């Protein structure tokens, strides 16, 4: 059953986003944070993501059952019951809240507000095509949270970095939503591809990624990072360009590679850029 639960929340994709939180922590520490803080961050981040993913599967279970792309997920197929998944949500939330308080008081106080965003996102596509940017907000909190975990305070650099993550996430989520244009329109769901069509949606995604890259550079400047940051940022920019080269309005066959593999490399390259900029 544990393996099935891990499959439900795509535990392997936690590595996709964890470097974003570590980027904020490294910035805040101006180097290597303590191992204890990093471990607590990893626990809190993994639990928060697990709660969001599991809750999303509950919220979307009826839609997933009707969408051929998602009909084989655990709840629609009966592999896991709604009660079992609710159990995972509750345990994950408890672990997230506890870990946040152990990190420092400000993290503990902000954790419930983070949960509102993380769980509330699941319903946004029912109301607005800007759901991609609200997902971006959920992920964009990661570098800010990493900074707060180390410093116990807010600052401009991690917030700009988080804003860049919002646009980056919105861009790749827009690309991913191109798979469900017909289904979303039939079900009255909102997304940029469903509203504008695939061709225009790809342009919106590209513009979002341009904005993300510029915000990443601005964050580096605000944090007074060295030339190493900008050199490694070239890799980040190249990966974003590659992501868009993989997808065209008439060919979405490489979308999984763009969404999962390339974006995992973008996340890692961003962390490497921050580390390089400190030396």
29-33, 78-82, 257-261, 270-274: lowest mean pLDDT where? 257-261
Measured distance CA(92)–CA(18) in Å, rounded? 16
The whole-number pLDDT of residue 261 equals 86
Measured distance CA(115)–CA(194) in Å, rounded? 27
Structure tokens, 148: 């707060």
C-alpha 154, offset from chain centre: 20
Is the Cβ–Cβ distance between 99 and 40 less than 8 Å? yes
Q: What is the pTM of this model?
A: 0.95
User: What's the number of domains the chain is made of?
Assistant: 1
Measured distance CA(87)–CA(251) in Å, rounded? 39
Measured distance CA(195)–CA(211) in Å, rounded? 21
Per-residue pLDDT tens digits for 196-224 = 999 999 999 999 999 999 999 999 999 99
Per-residue pLDDT tens digits for 221-276 = 999 999 999 999 999 999 999 999 999 988 888 988 888 889 999 999 999 999 99
Burial class (CB in 10 A: 0-12, 13-18, 19+), 249: middle
Q: What is the separation, in whole angstroms, between the first and last Cα of the chain?
A: 45
Q: Which domain holds residue 32?
A: 2-277
Q: Scanning the structure block, which residue is given the tokens 């980040």?
A: 236
Radius of gyration of the chain (CA): 18
Whether the CA torsion 89, 271, 148, 124 is positive or negative: it is negative
In angstroms, what CA-CA distances link 257 with 16, 64, 168, 246?
13, 22, 16, 8
Per-residue pLDDT tens digits for 116-144 = 999 999 999 999 999 999 999 999 999 99
Q: Scanning the structure block, which residue is given the tokens 């550079």?
A: 217
Per-residue pLDDT tens digits for 85-113 = 999 999 999 999 999 999 999 999 999 99
Q: Which residues pair with 248 in a beta bridge?
A: 251
Q: Scanning the structure block, which residue is given the tokens 């979303």?
A: 184
In angstroms, what CA-CA distances link 126 with 132, 170, 179, 200, 257?
12, 17, 17, 21, 27
Q: Beta strands of the chain (E only): which ranges?
A: none
Specify the DSSP class assigned to residue 33.
Answer: P
Measured distance CA(99)–CA(105) in Å, rounded? 11
Whether the CA torsion 50, 56, 61, 67 is positive or negative: it is negative
Model confidence band, residue 2 (pLDDT cutoffs 50, 70, 90): low
Measured distance CA(97)–CA(101) in Å, rounded? 6
Domain CATH number, residue 37: 1.10.357.140
């Amino acid at each position: 059953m544990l393996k099935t639960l891990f499959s439900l929340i795509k535990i392997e994709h936690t590595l996709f986003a964890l470097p974003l939180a570590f980027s904020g922590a490294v910035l805040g520490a101006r180097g290597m944070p303590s191992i204890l803080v990093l471990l607590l961050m990893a626990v809190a981040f993994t639990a928060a993501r697990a709660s969001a993913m599991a809750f999303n599967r509950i919220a979307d279970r009826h839609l997933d059952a009707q969408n051929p792309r998602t009909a084989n997920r655990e709840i629609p197929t009966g592999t896991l019951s709604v009660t079992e998944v609710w159990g995972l949500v509750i345990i994950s939330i408890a672990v997230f809240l506890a870990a946040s308080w152990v990190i420092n008081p400000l993290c503990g106080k902000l954790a419930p507000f983070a949960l509102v965003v993380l769980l509330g996102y699941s319903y946004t596509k029912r109301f607005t095509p800007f759901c991609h940017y609200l997902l971006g907000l959920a992920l964009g909190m990661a570098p800010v949270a990493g900074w707060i975990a180390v410093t116990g305070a807010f600052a401009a650099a991690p917030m700009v970095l988080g804003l860049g993550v919002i646009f980056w996430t919105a861009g790749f989520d827009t690309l991913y939503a191109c798979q469900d244009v017909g289904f979303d329109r039939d079900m009255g769901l909102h997304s940029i591809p469903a509203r504008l069509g695939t061709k225009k949606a790809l342009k919106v995604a590209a513009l979002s990624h341009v904005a993300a890259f510029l915000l990443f550079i601005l964050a580096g400047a605000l944090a007074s990072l060295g030339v190493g940051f900008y050199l490694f940022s070239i890799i980040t920019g190249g990966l974003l360009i590659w992501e868009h080269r993989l997808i065209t309005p008439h060919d979405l066959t490489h979308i999984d590679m763009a969404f999962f593999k390339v974006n995992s490399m973008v996340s890692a390259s961003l962390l490497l850029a921050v580390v390089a900029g400190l030396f």
